[in-house]
Amino acid sequence: MSPALSAVHKSRLTQLEELEAESIFIMREVVAEFENPVMLYSIGKDSSVLLHLAMKAFYPAKPPFPLMHIDTTWKFREMIEFRDQRARELGIDLIVHSNPDGIGNKITPFTHGSSKYTDLMKTEALKQALSKYKFDAAFGGARRDEEKSRAKERVFSFRDNNHRWDPRNQRPELWKVYNSRINKGESIRVFPLSNWTELDIWMYIHKENIPIVPLYYAKQRPIVHRDGMMLMIDDDRFPLNPGETPKMEQVRFRTLGCYPLTGAMYSEADTLEAIIGEMLESRTSERQGRAIDHDQSGSMEKKKKEGYF
Amino acid sequence: MSAVPMQTSQVRQFIGRQETKGLLRFITCGSVDDGKSSLIGRLLHDSQKILEDHMAAVKADSQRWGTQGEQIDLALLVDGLQAEREQGITIDVAYRYFDTERRKFIIADTPGHEQYTRNMATGASTADLAVILVDASRGVQVQTRRHSFIVSLLGIRHVIVAVNKMDLVNYDHAVFQNIAAECRHFMRTLGIQDVRVVPVSALMGDNVVKPSLNMPWYEGQPLLEILDTVDVSDDRAEDLRFPVQYVNRPNAEFRGYAGTLVAGHVRVGDQIMSLPSRKTTKVKEIVTYDGSITEASAPMAVTLTLEAEIDITRGDLLAHPDRAPTVAREFDAHLIWMAEQPLLPGKQYEFKISNQYVRGTVQRIDYRVDVNDLSRHAAGELKLNEIAVCRIALNQAVAYDVYDLCRETGSFIVVDRMNNATAGAGMIRRSAAVKAHEVHGNVYTEKLEITRQQRANQKSQQPCILWFTGLSGAGKSTIANAVEQELFRRGYHSYLLDGDNVRHGLNRDLGFTDNERVENIRRIGEVSRLFVDAGLIVLTAFISPFRSDRRMVRELVEAGEFIEVYVSTSLEVCESRDPKGLYNRARQGQIQNFTGISSPYEAPEAAEIMLDTSKLHVDDCVAKIIEYLEASGRLKL
């Protein structure tokens, strides 16, 4: 028998510290068990937290995997600048992939509609890149509190040869004993931030002083109002409808994506504390700014089955 | 934004509170009809964490799917996937998040329907507390006992019984008292000490977040207040347990052991022991990104550097030498089976325990536990959602604790090697009574044994198994016999195992059911392995129709030692030969489960040697095999 283990008071870790430790454990588990992991880096605040946690998990080494950004070619320019700067500062390899077929066929969110565009430039591009580099594990920054279909996502989420997710056939996941076994061609998507909420993300960015894209802070930006959303005119590819004139407005973004599909919000919050303060009063959840989830109830579930992150 | 912006000082206050919040993980158990989803919906709603656009979506969905007529169906806040919404049931574990002034909560929301035991176990595995729902109008049900049992099995020490739908029994105190007494009684028999019973109405909101005006006779706290204040601090073990997760070697100067303290504390300078090697050294530094620290405690994730360079790899466990865990190859465990394919004792599985995969078998099933009444039953196999006490035998010794003392070092999952599924989950109950492989204290028994290589060298051969497989009448035994004669003639040492010398002796007790067939092959495999250890060339001639069985044996021995010889003679040819008249009898239905007729034969996908006796003479077959053995360096004379 092992010696009796008597009990004492539980650790004094706060919930943020517990979440951090859990995420670090998950990242180390992946690096220990997979041959060719990658971190999907979307440049947003969740990615910023993910990257910061990776720096912590492998310190004093650098994270032993590259970052990969699926570039739809319609990201905000400030996002791309931020991406390149972060990768340079941290000395981490950055892979950028865009769907060449999509570019060849001049797929844009304006001409092909948000759903077809997203499928080709995000889902399809991601699958291409994962296959091309033969990654067997891919970190993503998704959180379970984001959307209903995410609430049942595993931390280690199995994908078949075609990168598909089968919600009816998920591996049971007990304790923190993650099953990393796969056959050749199959892969695992790993979500170290599963148990974080949007508020946790902001609190952690504040606590750890993590750099984020300036678009999260309020500033005067050129805006048009369209379909109930405030869209920022980030470059001259944005086709204005008759009668639409960009107007400078004080706005910020709660989530970041492709600029023609990402709605801004009026805000005066130009500091982290102001953002948190604004969030506390806000009564709308963050994904509302994205056109992609509204199409139909259950639409995220559908996209995930097809391989969307 | 219409609201007045918050003052910076208010925000700072909030951030300060937020940063000191603790975490409580709990599970909710109940059936489709107990109103579990409504209860969670009510908790989320009344604790004002339901955001408005979610609310708007629910309003729309309520008209489409709702079961509450014109009222908003709070359950729809909770039921996630489209498929289950259409069926009106929850089919998987879903995680929900909310927080109060004091705590953040993670809810594992699990279905209560009978066939989903595995989901409940999954949800319970990470929970500190369980909320078990009982429908007041129906009283304690079989499933209430089932949920309580699984909760206790997974090591949850705090239970809140929410007696729901009190509105349907007119908030009657007596109804509540009866249910409460019954619950307390059987929770006690399960060893759950901290049990609180709360009368609620999720639909009306009584005693969920706010005290109920309808039940003045209830003097306890509402559900949320209990969740907010319950003390789960004594649940964690104090002895240091640090399973090494990853060896961090960025350069020649630095060698760090990255891992999470699953229990206890560690300080710089502490004497620590690595298990299973039992080598000791001292902690030199506790490294973190935010600077080195002098002390770490569970559940922190850190990196340790050590004074001495001792050989430590992923899966080793660091502990204080006087408080070290057990090291053994065998133990008894509660096993929950989670796969469609039943658990077969003797079959090789992978066990993931304390950050490492170890091969092993479930040696025997002591008894199966009926989750409904806790009665014990003999069992030859374990089906989906069944629970049993089993003897586990791993192929190598591992460090572990009893689950009740430490969840993290006392738990494991079972992975089916054929399809990589998580087939089962186990909780270690105790060490095996006979601890043949256990290391006692610091004393090693010095074994002076003759190695297998020495034995092989003595015989001028590299031992191996020639595993003949093929249909009845294909010519396996004939060829195997001829090969053995040729080996003997040349001065090599071999032994032939076939139906005559195995089925009549060693395996006399086995019939032809699926698990008896697996056991048959397992024993033949084990005997073959012993003979290979003894330095012999083993020949076996069994139909062995299933790929998984042959693979099981292949994995018992070293790479290259298992040589699959597929005697591929077709069914037509075999049937026309029919040396024992068996095909004839099988065709007439006199023999059940006859391979090729009423039971499948799974041909090898990549046999080392393939022989078709309708095209090759026996001598050609022998020559081909001898050639293979020579080419692969098995024969050295």
Radius of gyration of chain A (CA): 20
Q: How far, in Å, CA of B180 to CA of B215, rounded?
A: 15
Lowest model confidence (mean pLDDT) among A227-231, B48-52, B139-143, B528-532: B48-52
Determine, yes or no, domain membership for B105: yes
Do residue B281 and residue B361 come from a single domain?
no
Chain A's closest residue to B105, CA to CA, is A15
Do residue B509 and residue B372 come from a single domain?
no
Chain A's closest residue to B417, CA to CA, is A181
Q: With a CB-CB cutoff of 8 Å, which residues 139-158 of chain A face chain B? A: 144-145, 148-149, 151-152
Asked if A13 and B300 come within 8 Å (Cβ–Cβ), the reply is: yes
pLDDT score of B480 more than 90: yes
Asked if B420 and A24 come within 8 Å (Cβ–Cβ), the reply is: no
Asked if B1 and A267 come within 8 Å (Cβ–Cβ), the reply is: yes
Q: Which residues of B are catalytic?
A: 544
Residue range B581-595, pLDDT digits in tens: 889 888 888 888 888
pLDDT score of A113 more than 90: no
Do residue B584 and residue B521 come from a single domain?
yes
Q: Which amino acid is at B270?
A: D
CA A154 vs CA A140, A151, B135, B158, B405: distances in Å: 12, 9, 30, 25, 27
CB A287 within 8 A of CB A252: no
Determine, yes or no, domain membership for B234: no
Output the domain CATH number for residue B393.
2.40.30.10
- CB of A182 less than 8 A from some CB of B: yes
Residues of chain A neighbouring B325 (CB-CB closer than 8 A): 2
3-state helix, strand, coil in chain A (%, to 5): 40, 15, 45
Do residue B462 and residue B510 come from a single domain?
yes
Q: Name the domain boundary from B207, B229, B251.
A: B229
pLDDT score of B31 more than 90: no
Instruction: Give the start-end residues of each E strand in B290-374.
Output: 295-297, 301-306, 317-319, 326-337, 348-353, 356-369
Lowest model confidence (mean pLDDT) among A145-154, B140-149, B221-230: A145-154
CB pairs under 8 A between A and B: 244
Average pLDDT score, chain B: 86
Do residue B383 and residue B516 come from a single domain?
no
If one compares B422 and B84, the residue with the highest pLDDT of the two is B422
Q: With a CB-CB cutoff of 8 Å, which residues 210-239 of chain A face chain B? A: none
Q: If we measure between CA atoms, which residue out of B570, B580, B507 comes closest to residue B540?
A: B507
pLDDT score of A131 more than 80: yes
Residues of chain B neighbouring A195 (CB-CB closer than 8 A): 95, 97, 106
Min Cα separation A110/chain B (Å) = 26
Phi/psi-derived region of residue B73, left when phi > 0, alpha when psi is between -120 and 50, beta in every other case: beta
Asked if A60 and B250 come within 8 Å (Cβ–Cβ), the reply is: yes
**pTM (2 decimals)?**
0.74
Asked if B82 and A273 come within 8 Å (Cβ–Cβ), the reply is: no
Min Cα separation A111/chain B (Å) = 29
Min Cα separation A307/chain B (Å) = 16
pLDDT score of A3 more than 50: no
Structural domain span for residue B515: 452-631
Residues of chain A neighbouring B430 (CB-CB closer than 8 A): 1
Determine, yes or no, domain membership for B7: no
Do residue B224 and residue B148 come from a single domain?
yes
Determine, yes or no, domain membership for B3: no
Backbone angles phi, psi at A281, to 5 degrees: -90, -20
If one compares B229 and B57, the residue with the highest pLDDT of the two is B229
Q: Which amino acid is at B496?
A: L
Residue found under tokens 């430039």:
A121
Residue range B86-144, pLDDT digits in tens: 544 445 788 888 888 888 999 998 876 655 788 889 999 999 999 999 999 999 988 88
Q: If we measure between CA atoms, which residue out of B196, B189, B207 comes closest to residue B230?
A: B196
Q: Specify the 3-state DSSP secondary structure of A181.
A: coil
Q: Name the domain boundary from B323, B347, B368.
A: B323
Asked if A151 and B80 come within 8 Å (Cβ–Cβ), the reply is: yes
Q: Name the domain boundary from B206, B229, B252.
A: B229
Q: Average pLDDT for residues A291-303, to the nearest whole number? A: 51
Q: How far, in Å, CA of B635 to CA of B461, rounded?
A: 5
ipTM: 0.87
Locate B297 and state its tokens. 């405690």
Determine, yes or no, domain membership for B2: no
Q: Average pLDDT for residues A184-191, to the nearest whole number? A: 94
Q: How confident is the model at residue A29 (pLDDT cuts 50, 70, 90)?
A: very high
Determine, yes or no, domain membership for B474: yes
Q: Specify the 3-state DSSP secondary structure of B226.
A: helix
Lateral strand order in the sheet of B94-99: B94-99, B103-109, B22-29, B129-135, B158-164, B194-199
Q: Which residues contact A1 (CB under 8 A, 6 or more apart)?
A: B326, B402, B430, B431
Do residue B427 and residue B474 come from a single domain?
no
Q: Say which DSSP state A120 is in.
A: I
Do residue B296 and residue B384 come from a single domain?
no
Residues of chain B neighbouring A55 (CB-CB closer than 8 A): 289
CA B190 vs CA B108, B147, B184, B233: distances in Å: 22, 11, 10, 21
- Pairing relationship of beta strands B464-469 and B537-541 according to DSSP bridges: parallel
Q: Say which DSSP state B504 is in.
A: I
Min Cα separation A185/chain B (Å) = 14
The partner residues of A75 in beta bridges, in order of sequence, read A258
Backbone angles phi, psi at B462, to 5 degrees: -100, 115
Chain B's closest residue to A64, CA to CA, is B250
Residue range A218-260, pLDDT digits in tens: 999 999 999 889 999 999 898 899 989 999 999 999 989 999 9
- Measure CB to CB from residue A7 to each of B1, B237, B250 and give the nearest one: B237
CA B290 vs CA A57, A63, B73, B293, B416: distances in Å: 11, 16, 47, 9, 40
Do residue B387 and residue B315 come from a single domain?
no
Chain A's closest residue to B7, CA to CA, is A277
CB B38 within 8 A of CB B118: no
Do residue B195 and residue B332 come from a single domain?
no
Q: Average pLDDT for residues A194-216, to the nearest whole number? A: 94
In this structure, the dihedral spanned by the alpha carbons of residues B305, B310, B313 and B318, taken in order and rounded to 10 degrees, is -60
Cα B112 to its chain centre, rounded Å, is 21
3-state helix, strand, coil in chain B (%, to 5): 30, 30, 40
Determine, yes or no, domain membership for B443: no
Cα A152 to its chain centre, rounded Å, is 17
Residues of chain B neighbouring A199 (CB-CB closer than 8 A): 18, 99
- Measure CB to CB from residue A32 to each of B21, B52, B246 and give the nearest one: B246
**pLDDT confidence of residue B557:** 87
Do residue B264 and residue B365 come from a single domain?
no
Residue range B469-478, pLDDT digits in tens: 999 999 999 9
Min Cα separation A48/chain B (Å) = 16
Output the domain CATH number for residue B87.
3.40.50.300
Q: State the total domains in chain B.
A: 4
Determine, yes or no, domain membership for B174: yes
> Taking the alpha carbons of A13, A19, A22, A24 in that order, is the dihedral positive or negative?
negative
Min Cα separation A128/chain B (Å) = 25
Q: Can you spell out the DSSP letters for B280-292?
A: EEEEEEEE-TT--
Residue found under tokens 């109940």:
B30
Asked if A273 and B119 come within 8 Å (Cβ–Cβ), the reply is: no
- Pairing relationship of beta strands B295-297 and B256-260 according to DSSP bridges: unpaired
The neighbour count for residue B274, using CB atoms within 10 Å, is: 24
Q: How far, in Å, CA of B614 to CA of B574, rounded?
A: 9
Residue range B172-187, pLDDT digits in tens: 999 999 999 999 998 9
- CB of A174 less than 8 A from some CB of B: yes
pLDDT score of A294 more than 90: no
Do residue B623 and residue B484 come from a single domain?
yes
Q: How confident is the model at residue B78 (pLDDT cuts 50, 70, 90)?
A: low
pLDDT score of B286 more than 50: yes
Residues of chain A neighbouring B350 (CB-CB closer than 8 A): 181
- CB of A294 less than 8 A from some CB of B: no
Test the A interface: residue of B9, B85, B97, B98 with most A CBs within 10 Å? B97
**pLDDT confidence of residue B101:** 80
